[in-house]
């Protein structure tokens, strides 16, 4: 048995904001904020992000994957057809101090209370290859849920290996934890754009950050 109790603070910091990819006739758009606003998950619908934090964009079409050089402007927009689109961001260091949270490493601020480094990624599925696109933290959808009530059967990978203990959330609400073989099942509860997130925490160097927080999101659509 693994007794893994989370504090309220921990849960809130994990899933305080959403990242998602919006698909339209104009292409893909990367957005940040609160996708599905509720009593428990409230705030501004759209929050501006720094496009310079985007480090990698991978587009897979058929059997071919390519790294895209994108114009780093807000919001990130792509006019390209992809079966799968993967975006990786390095959000840098965050340090909580008694006078607020700073986007700086622990050794660069005074009165540091807690610090972490944040890596974030997101994948949008048009067609599901059931394979990873990156060697970073990633969610692989192993089946093709078609309607509300179906389960999304997920494989959580880190460095292309199954990872245990990643906390997986649906619509920002944690629903489970990945098993030894990286597996976890999440039930589809709404139609439209699905937003499934996984978070993994590792120890930092103690100097610049106490821990490293990896977050990855999976987007795909369910029509009914």
Partner 1 sequence: MKKTVCASLLVATLSYAHHGVASLGVVGLEGPGAPVETTSSAMLPEDKFLAYMKLDYASYKKYTDVIDDEMEESYYWMYGIGYGFKSYLSGYIFLPYYTKKQEDSVQTSGFHDINLMGVLGFKYDEGFILTPQNESLDDLEDWHFTIFANVSLPTGDSELKTANGSLYDAGMQLSFGEPSYMIGLSATKWFGNGFTLVMDTSYNTFQEHTYSDGTRVKFADEIRANAALAYKFYVNPKKKLRFDTNLEANFLHLGRDKENGVEQEATGGDILYTTIGFRLFYNNISAALGVKLPVWTKLNEEDKQQGSEGKEDYRVIFSFSTLF
- φ, ψ of residue 131 to 5 degrees: the values are -135, 155
Q: How far apart are CA 73 and CA 81, in angstroms?
A: 20
Give bridge partners of residue 86 from the DSSP assignment: 58, 123
Interaction of residue 184 with partner 1, rule CB under 8 A = yes
Distances in whole angstroms, Cα of residue 3 to Cα of each of 6, 14, 47, 85, 217: 10, 18, 35, 36, 25
Interaction of residue 71 with partner 1, rule CB under 8 A = no
- Residue 12 or residue 37: which is nearer to partner 1 going by CB? 12
Q: How far apart are CA 66 and CA 60, in angstroms?
A: 6
Query: Would you call 60 exposed, middle or buried from its count of C-beta atoms within 10 A (0-12, 13-18, 19+)?
Result: buried
- Chain-centroid distance of CA 24 in Å reads 21
Interaction of residue 54 with partner 1, rule CB under 8 A = no
When binding is defined by CB under 8 A, the residue of 23, 80, 102, 175 that contacts partner 1 is: 175
When binding is defined by CB under 8 A, the residue of 186, 196, 200, 218 that contacts partner 1 is: 186
Choose the stretch contacting partner 1; rule: CB under 8 A; options: 16-24, 82-90, 131-139, 182-190. 182-190
Interaction of residue 140 with partner 1, rule CB under 8 A = no
Interaction of residue 183 with partner 1, rule CB under 8 A = yes
- Residue 1 or residue 71: which is nearer to partner 1 going by CB? 1
When binding is defined by CB under 8 A, the residue of 23, 131, 173, 201 that contacts partner 1 is: 173
Q: How far apart are CA 71 and CA 138, in angstroms?
A: 24
Identify whether the C-beta of residue 108 lies closer than 8 Å to the C-beta of residue 94.
no
- φ, ψ of residue 51 to 5 degrees: the values are -65, -20
Interaction of residue 180 with partner 1, rule CB under 8 A = yes
Interaction of residue 65 with partner 1, rule CB under 8 A = no
Helices (H), the chain: 8-14
Interaction of residue 146 with partner 1, rule CB under 8 A = no
Interaction of residue 196 with partner 1, rule CB under 8 A = no
Interaction of residue 2 with partner 1, rule CB under 8 A = yes
Total residues interacting with partner 1, rule: CB under 8 A: 29
Q: How far is the CB of 104 from partner 1 (least distance, A)?
A: 27
Interaction of residue 6 with partner 1, rule CB under 8 A = yes
Residue ranges binding partner 1 (CB under 8 A): 1-8, 10-11, 15, 151, 167-170, 173-180, 183-187
């Amino acid at each position: 048995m693994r007794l893994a109790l989370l504090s309220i603070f921990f849960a809130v910091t994990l899933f305080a904001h959403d990242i998602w990819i919006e698909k339209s006739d104009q292409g893909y758009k990367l957005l940040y904020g609160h996708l599905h606003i509720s009593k428990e998950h409230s705030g501004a619908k759209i929050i501006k992000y720094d496009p310079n934090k985007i480090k990698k964009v991978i587009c897979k079409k058929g059997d071919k994957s390519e790294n895209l050089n994108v114009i780093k402007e807000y919001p990130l927009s792509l006019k390209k057809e992809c079966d799968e689109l993967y975006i990786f961001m390095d959000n840098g260091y965050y340090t909580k101090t008694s006078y607020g949270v700073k986007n700086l490493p622990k050794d660069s601020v005074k009165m540091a209370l807690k610090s972490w480094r944040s890596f974030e990624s997101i994948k949008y599925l048009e067609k599901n290859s059931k394979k990873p696109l990156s060697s970073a933290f990633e969610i692989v959808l192993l089946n093709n849920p078609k309607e509300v009530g179906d389960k999304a059967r997920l494989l959580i990978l880190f460095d292309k290996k199954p990872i245990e203990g990643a906390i997986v959330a649906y619509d920002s609400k944690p629903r489970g934890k990945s098993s030894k073989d990286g597996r976890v099942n999440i039930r589809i509860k709404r139609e439209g754009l699905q937003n499934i997130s996984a978070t993994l925490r590792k120890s930092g160097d103690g100097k610049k950050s106490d821990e490293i927080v990896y977050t990855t999101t999976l987007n795909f659509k369910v029509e009914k």
